[in-house]
Amino acid sequence: MVAFILLIVGGLNWLLHAFGYNVVDMLGATIARVVYILVGLAAIYEAVTHKKNCRACSASSMSAAPAGDMTHG
């Protein structure tokens, strides 16, 4: 859950950055570095554990899906 929240924070920061705002950098250099490291580690964790945790990506769900169906609905 912590990794998911950190990914949301990182994604929202990228969105705001596109409009000229960087909320994380407003926290100060040291805190911003820590947040960026935590967001990066959260992304790695989610990438490595995604298939195990995702019902749509599990082996049983994928075998029931039609060929070429890559949606997570």
- Higher per-residue pLDDT: 7 or 60: 7
- Asked, for residue 68, whether it belongs to a domain, the answer is no
What tokens were used for 18? Answer: 């596109």
- Asked, for residue 72, whether it belongs to a domain, the answer is no
pLDDT at 57 exceeding the cut of 80: no
- Asked, for residue 12, whether it belongs to a domain, the answer is yes
Structural domain of residue 32, as residue ranges? 2-61
CB 38 within 8 A of CB 6: yes
Mind listing the pLDDT tens digit for each residue in 5-47? 888 988 898 899 899 988 888 888 898 899 889 999 998 998 8
- Asked, for residue 66, whether it belongs to a domain, the answer is no
Tell me the pLDDT band of 55, cut-offs 50, 70 and 90. confident
Question: What is the total count of domains within the chain?
Answer: 1
- Asked, for residue 32, whether it belongs to a domain, the answer is yes
